Every structure is written in C-alpha cells, then in structure tokens.
Amino acid sequence: MTDDRIRLAFDGPIARLTLKRPDKLNALDRAMIVALARAAEAIEDASDIRVAILSGEGKAFCAGGDIAAWSNLPPLEMWRDWTRVGHRAFEALARLRVPLVAALTGHAFGGGLELAATADIRIAETGIKLGLPETGLGMAPGWSGTQRLVRRFGAQVVRRMALGGRMFEAEEALALGLVDEVVEAGEGLTRAEAIARAIAARGPVAAQIVKSMINAAEGEDSDAPIEALAGAFTATTRDLGEGVAAFNDKRPPHFEGR
C-alpha cells in the first residue's frame, strides 16, 4: 500500500478495506485508485482470507472521482489513463476470489456507486443517497456505470440515474435491488461485519467457487472461472502427476484416464 488514504487490514479470515479521505467525502484521485488495485491484489494473495469488507470513513461512502484530479485532463489522457486505471482497479475488486461486502454508511455518487457495485452484498444505512450525476457535469460514467451497473441492477434503474439524474434514498434503493439491506444510521459496519463472519464460517472453497460461477453467469468474468475450475480438476487426476513425471524423466507418458 502506498497511499494512507486507503487502509487495508487483515483480521483473521476478514480483510477490511477502508477509504480514509473524509474531508473530501472519500473522493478518489489517481493515487487512491492505484492503491485500491494494490489492496485487491494483497487480498488475493492472502490465502487465509475468506471475505472482505469495503467501507468509507465520514459522511460519505465515496463521492466518486475527485473533480480536481480529472477535470483538466486532455481527452486522450482521460481515456488511456484515468478511465482505464479506474477500470483495472474496479475489475480487480469485482473479481476478487473472496466475497466482498460493502458497508454504505454514507452517500455513494458516481464513481462511488460504481465502486459499491463491485461488492457482492451492499448494506446501506437509512438516510444515504445513491446516484450517477455525471451527465449533469457533461460527462459519462467512466468506471462501468453503464456496464456493470446495468448487469447487476437493470438498465431501467441505471437510465433513471444516469439520464434523469435521479437520486435514490436507501429504502428506494432496497426496493430496486441497488442495495441488499437497509439498517439504522450507525449500524452499517456492524451489520456488514455480521454478514462477513457468516460468510467466513461457510465452506471457503465452495463460497469462492459459487461467487466465481455467479460472476460468470452475470457476465462479469466468464473465461477465467471456467479455466480455473478446469485446472483445479485436472490437478486432482493421476494423469497430471504422470504427465509431469514423464516430462521430468524425458519419456513418453502412460496416461490412465483417471
């Protein structure tokens, strides 16, 4: 981790990823986005982690991309750096090996909602709002707001936010499937923790495979899960051991088909 505004902590089987820029409503600049990607990599590398919690300090979960960080970028720089770096980070979070639970203890706007959408389960506190205000600034959502959000929440919901500027309060968001539960103010992290511990108590291999298969069905990442499962299956066979032994012994393999 290279940015103290992104904190990653491990607690037994749970990874806690926290945005720590409350004075700017946890708005993301480039360094924070890179740190998010590195945090996702660290979670992937921690073999004993079974679930992760994503949250933000202060009044907002995340207000999106910091306008000061992108508003003066030339068009090509916006495309090849800002948008693409954000996509890499958010894809890494959405495709984490372990389930991700987001605690929305404050508003999630624009890139903040796109960040929340990378989670498998979202807990919202009453009183918060969610929306995609980008077109009001003359720009389009850049971190999969028109792609992942459509796949996960439906095109019409995204149209109402992205085209109409509609902001949904927590209870409305629950009815539309944008969030999975609504709890009282101050209880979001506690509830996310309870859900994370319930997930961590289940079979970790099964939970991770199920998450991967759901992602594949949703169109999040179809190639890697299929090939990963194929690789895991072949690793259980005697044929693999024979093939490796034959290679090392420089002889033809004698496969048994089991």
CATH number, domain at 37? 3.90.226.10
Is there a single domain that holds both residue 99 and residue 120? yes
Q: Is 129 contained in some domain?
A: yes
Q: Annotated catalytic, 134?
A: yes
Q: Which of 41, 44, 91, 114 is catalytic?
A: 114
Q: Is 1 contained in some domain?
A: no
Is there a single domain that holds both residue 66 and residue 192? yes
Q: Is 255 contained in some domain?
A: no
Is there a single domain that holds both residue 147 and residue 66? yes
pLDDT for 161 equals: 97
Rounded CA separation 114/91 (Å): 11
Q: Could you tell me which residues come within 8 angstroms of residue 218 by beta carbon, excluding any fewer than 6 positions away?
A: 151, 152
Q: Which of 125, 134, 193, 220 is catalytic?
A: 134
Q: Running DSSP on this structure, what letter comes out for residue 65?
A: B
Q: Which residues in the chain land under pLDDT 70?
A: 1-2, 222-225, 227-229
Is there a single domain that holds both residue 189 and residue 213? no
Specify the number of domains making up the chain: 2
pLDDT for 223 equals: 64
pLDDT for 162 equals: 96
pLDDT for 63 equals: 96
Is there a single domain that holds both residue 100 and residue 218? no
Is there a single domain that holds both residue 34 and residue 126? yes
Q: Which domain holds residue 216?
A: 204-249
Q: Is 258 contained in some domain?
A: no
Q: Is 254 contained in some domain?
A: no
Q: Is 172 contained in some domain?
A: yes
Chosen domain end from 168, 185, 200: 200
Q: Annotated catalytic, 114?
A: yes
Is there a single domain that holds both residue 181 and residue 210? no
pLDDT for 224 equals: 66
Query: What is the sign, positive or negative, of the torsion defined by CA atoms of 217, 218, 222, 226?
Result: negative
Rounded CA separation 112/26 (Å): 9
Query: Phi and psi of 83, rounded to 5°?
Result: -70, -45
Q: Is 33 contained in some domain?
A: yes
Is there a single domain that holds both residue 77 and residue 195? yes
Is there a single domain that holds both residue 17 and residue 91? yes
Q: Is 213 contained in some domain?
A: yes
Instruction: Look up the pTM and report it.
Output: 0.91
Is there a single domain that holds both residue 146 and residue 231? no
Is there a single domain that holds both residue 142 and residue 217? no
Q: Could you tell me which residues come within 8 angstroms of residue 42 by beta carbon, excluding any fewer than 6 positions away?
A: 1, 8
In tens, the pLDDT along 217-253 reads 988 876 666 766 677 777 788 877 888 888 899 999 8
Is there a single domain that holds both residue 213 and residue 194? no
